[in-house]
Structure 1
Amino acid sequence: MRELTCDVAVIGAGTAGLAAYDAATKAGARAVVIERGPGGTTCARVGCMPSKLLIAAARAAHDARHAGVFGVEAGEVRVDGAAVMRRVRALRDDFVASVLDGLDRIPAEQRVAGTARFSDPATLVVDDHTRIVPGAVVIATGSSPSLPEPLRPVADRVLTTDTLFEIGTLPESLAVLGAGAVGLELAQAMSRLGVRVTLLDPAEAVGGIRDPEVAACAAALLGAEIDLRLGATVETATAEGDGVRLTWRLATGERGEGTFARVLAAAGRPPNLSDLDLAAAGLDDPEEDGLPDFNPRTLQCGTLPIFIAGDANHERPVLHEAQRQGWIAGGNAARFPQVEAPPPWPAFSLIFTHPQIAAIGRAFDPEAARDWVVGEASFADQGRARAMDRADGLIRVCAEPDGRLVGAAMIGPGVEHLAHLMAVAVQEGWTAATFLDRPFYHPTLEEGLQTAVKAVAERTGGTR
């Protein structure tokens, strides 16, 4: 067995792992990356990028069908499902290739292929060919899609985000289990491309939206395009012909059933930790959820020289957080036992449906909200949104009684840009008055956010 020593061993070469390697080497450490594949990061290979490619195709079809409102007659819209999926895969492969180029820049002697596990707190074994003794370890093993228990009897007929983008063409019908960000995006995209879609989730709100007003608005807008069944728990799945028959029960007790050409499991991606033998590393699982106890700011596991970053810790499984966490974990691993605990970024999530959905900062909580000042603005009468025929949605901005902005939830056109403005405001601790003392061009969608913040300022004495 090959013997290898290093300052930092990084397990996983995704977004967090590559960032950890870069941070460790920049800090002067000799780092080794262990990767079992497939490479290319979750985002590029099966996540953010291929889903946005599918969404872009769906948006083109939707806009073509609705161009008549502008006096533009586009004629019959025909979707070539096979061509759609070919383009998704072709550009997806370009994105993956770009990531792999980044991995290839790591010297061959600092890369180890295989599955790593702890044999003791200070030693890693990779398959049966390499033993590594590192000064510190960064766990950046990513995540994998889960398969809900009722779907296991028909597992060979179920799609996940790891397999969806490999289908040759679009199915006639699709059941999507999970109304989180991924489920919502893919359900709406498929529907706009002509697929009959039913979306099921036991939760009572789409996208994990906590603000009840924004949640209701989102359910109404998205439910107008797809068969949305909130409060639905799938009970059984059986093979029927070439498809799958599902039965489900609603929170009201009412039961439903349907047969679908394909089923997509979009019910989450748990961390890839089971192969690591964390017990051998001396890492306990206090919550019995497979996760070791770790500090969310330093990313250190207990007092050991082991750090966990990205989707592997399930703290904030989005790319920009994974990249930052990788950088923090890699730097702390290189400097151990001196570790840094930078302040967290504000919570920030985006769902790329149309309209888009965003949540920034502190999540809405009925108890805390009793003391908050809430400013609201509707896109229904927002000038730029009306000009674009996209006048649907709602913004809700929350602030402390002194006017300091603490969070927002919104659904509407161009929300990805408005949300970035709000994230900066929350991170910088701006009051509503400070926010309003910034230029807002007319006519823009950003003026909708300005209106909501102005409502906060009027209630906190912050207007001029």
Structure 2
Amino acid sequence: MTTLEVDVDVDVAVIGAGTAGLAAYRAAVAQGKRALLIEGGPYGTTCARVGCMPSKLLIAAAEAAHMLQAAPGFGVHPGVIRIDGRAVMARVQRERDRFVGFVLDSVNGIPERDKLRGHARFTGPQTLVVEGEHDTHTTVNASRIVIATGSTPIKVPMLVNGGPGVITSGDVFELTDLPGSMAVIGTGVIGLELGQAMARLGVRVSIFARGGTVAQISDPEVLHVASKALGADLDIRFQNLIVDAVPDGAGVRLTTRDAAGFEQIERFDYVLQAAGRVANVGGIGIEHTGLVLDGAGIPLFDRTTMQCGASHIFIAGDADNERTVLPEAADEGRIAGDNAGRYPDVRPGLRRTPLIIAFTEPQIATLGASYRQLCAEGRPKFAVGTVSFENQGRSRVMLQNQGMLRVYAEYGSGRFLGAEMIGPRAEHIGHLLAWACQARMTVDQMLDMPFYHPVVEEGARTALRALHAELTRDAAGFVPAGDEPGE
């Protein structure tokens, strides 16, 4: 078969048609430039296909089951609970396909001349070769290039011999029925969300972590409360190493070793690899760009402009391994596309206050500067305010009274710096606090805001009052009055 070779000249080439890539393409076009969107896999973002949307569909089903199980605590006694695994997964896939369809509609609206299917790799700083179907090779000469190649789940080396029962998060959403058992490797956001959802839907779940972390929490006090709260609902095994995995019929025989050196062999229908994701920067010829790379092979870049060094190449989304969540990918893609379009007139773009949410129960939210960042060497001392949700009024009303919120502020100015929490309605409290952080509000200004009663947000006010007391103690040596009962 004869290889078909074509040359294409464009202003901006975007490698990857996920959330970041689509945003970069649109931003470059808005600058009046000829942009080309290159995609080697299926269209449809990670979020819509295998990430935030299908996982929330599974979590919603788990929440419905859990509410029935929790109802007797209110004096309400439902009948026999039956979970139809096939119906659960059918709805997950049906609604997932709807979300993917919205993305595909958007891609279909892009002119065909602006889309190219195939795997792209650099052959020079401004040259890409795209290998497509039917042995086609397209050489793309681009004045500017945006790398938006996304990420893939990390493959755990000790699981390579486990057979087809070793799966990734994307494979979960292709199951036609709920399994009988599942081992989850990793206590990050993905592992905890999917592990808890499966457990609440009747699946026997064990979650293994090589360390003692929980999701994105870095505050040791919040981490302690989170470990206790989630551990009461889940079989979480911290300080456990994966030793080996081999096929066992249609399942997997998994060998693990705990901190004391004790090895345990168990059989699971599936072993879910949820130990994080790795940026897709290998195999794209990054070595031909002349860019300076970090230890993971990712180009060094300016997070305010997404520019790699002083070059004409920009990077966005999961490919830069900075903040691997959809809102950040969209922002980074827009900034990268804007600057690729106007290069060499590169300008800083809007980077919002960091906000990450895990949809576990209780929910986990972190925002602004993390506890770990604030404790870094050379950082000034900061004030902390704390509230427990165990006796918070609205939380007790809902039988969701567990968790902790810790808020941080700058001595002297009183400026709010960030927070970490696990607790009820964390997705909503997290947004309010993130807005305050981005607005550079002081703790006093935040306490001037309205709080209704009884609401879970009053817990945030209690934490802010404790933070205000710490700031005031440092400044004047006294503590203001405490909170009203039941907040």
TM-score normalized by the length of structure 1: 0.97
Comparing 327-336 with 207-216, greater Cα deviation is found at 207-216
Comparing 20-29 with 320-329, greater Cα deviation is found at 20-29
Letter in 2 for 1:410: M
CA distance in 1, matches of 2:289, 2:163: 33
Secondary structure of the 2:371 match is: coil
CA distance in 2, matches of 1:343, 1:454: 31
Deviations 1:334-368 (A, max 9, x none): 11111112353222211000110011111213845
Match for residue 159 of structure 1? 167
Secondary structure of the 1:301 match is: coil
TM-superposed CA distance for 1:399, in Å, is: 1.1
Question: Equivalent of 1:20, from 20, 24, 28?
Answer: 24
Match for residue 405 of structure 2? 395
Match for residue 94 of structure 1? 98
CA distance in 2, matches of 1:354, 1:310: 28
CA distance in 1, matches of 2:382, 2:58: 39
Task: Summarize the Cα distance change of 1:130–1:227 in structure 2 as closer, same or farther, 3 Å threshold.
Answer: same
The answer (yes or no) to whether the contact 1:154–1:238 under 8 Å persists in 2 is yes
CA distance in 1, matches of 2:380, 2:297: 36
Comparing 266-275 with 253-262, greater Cα deviation is found at 253-262
Letter in 2 for 1:102: S
The answer (yes or no) to whether the contact 1:205–1:216 under 8 Å persists in 2 is no
Match for residue 321 of structure 1? 328
> When the two structures are aligned, how many residues end up with a matched partner?
463
CA distance in 2, matches of 1:89, 1:262: 19
Match for residue 340 of structure 2? 333
TM-superposed CA distance for 1:430, in Å, is: 1.3
TM-superposed CA distance for 1:250, in Å, is: 2.3
Deviations 1:212-250 (A, max 9, x none): 111111111111122101111111112222221112222
TM-superposed CA distance for 1:451, in Å, is: 0.8
The answer (yes or no) to whether the contact 2:216–2:366 under 8 Å persists in 1 is no
Match for residue 81 of structure 2? 77
Matches for 1:194-213 after TM superposition, within 5 Å? 194-213=202-221
Match for residue 254 of structure 2? 246
Unpaired segments ≥5 residues, structure 1: none
Secondary structure of the 2:283 match is: helix
CA distance in 2, matches of 1:286, 1:89: 38
Matches for 1:4-403 after TM superposition, within 5 Å? 4-127=8-131, 128-287=136-295, 289-342=296-349, 344-365=351-372, 367=375, 371-402=381-412, 403=414
The answer (yes or no) to whether the contact 2:390–2:401 under 8 Å persists in 1 is yes
The answer (yes or no) to whether the contact 2:165–2:269 under 8 Å persists in 1 is no
Secondary structure of the 1:209 match is: coil
Secondary structure of the 2:151 match is: coil
Comparing 174-183 with 30-39, greater Cα deviation is found at 30-39
Letter in 2 for 1:61: A
CA distance in 2, matches of 1:2, 1:370: 58
CA distance in 1, matches of 2:259, 2:356: 27
Secondary structure of the 1:267 match is: coil
Unpaired segments ≥5 residues, structure 2: 482-487
Deviations 1:395-436 (A, max 9, x none): 111111232111111011110000011111111221110111
CA distance in 1, matches of 2:129, 2:248: 45
Secondary structure of the 2:141 match is: strand
The answer (yes or no) to whether the contact 1:283–1:301 under 8 Å persists in 2 is yes
CA distance in 1, matches of 2:243, 2:430: 37
The answer (yes or no) to whether the contact 1:278–1:284 under 8 Å persists in 2 is no
Comparing 368-377 with 322-331, greater Cα deviation is found at 368-377
CA distance in 2, matches of 1:94, 1:299: 32
Secondary structure of the 1:264 match is: strand
CA distance in 1, matches of 2:294, 2:185: 29
Question: Equivalent of 1:425, from 433, 436, 449?
Answer: 436
CA distance in 2, matches of 1:51, 1:304: 38
CA distance in 1, matches of 2:115, 2:103: 15
TM-superposed CA distance for 1:208, in Å, is: 3.3
Secondary structure of the 1:166 match is: coil
TM-superposed CA distance for 1:68, in Å, is: 1.5
CA distance in 2, matches of 1:219, 1:87: 31
Secondary structure of the 1:282 match is: coil
The answer (yes or no) to whether the contact 1:385–1:413 under 8 Å persists in 2 is yes
2:449 matches 1:449: no
Letter in 2 for 1:139: I
CA distance in 1, matches of 2:265, 2:219: 30
TM-superposed CA distance for 1:155, in Å, is: 4.1
The answer (yes or no) to whether the contact 2:331–2:351 under 8 Å persists in 1 is no
Match for residue 484 of structure 2? none
Instruction: Give the percent of matched residue pairs that are identical in Structure 1 and Structure 2.
Output: 48
Secondary structure of the 1:144 match is: strand
CA distance in 1, matches of 2:427, 2:260: 35
Deviations 1:142-195 (A, max 9, x none): 111121000001242211012111011111110000110000000000000000
The answer (yes or no) to whether the contact 1:285–1:293 under 8 Å persists in 2 is yes
The answer (yes or no) to whether the contact 2:163–2:247 under 8 Å persists in 1 is no
Deviations 1:266-300 (A, max 9, x none): 1111111222101112234331x121222222111
The answer (yes or no) to whether the contact 2:33–2:341 under 8 Å persists in 1 is yes
CA distance in 2, matches of 1:440, 1:132: 56
TM-score normalized by the length of structure 2: 0.92
Task: Summarize the Cα distance change of 1:309–1:370 in structure 2 as closer, same or farther, 3 Å threshold.
Answer: closer
Letter in 2 for 1:114: G
Letter in 1 for 2:200: R
Letter in 1 for 2:391: D
Letter in 2 for 1:421: L
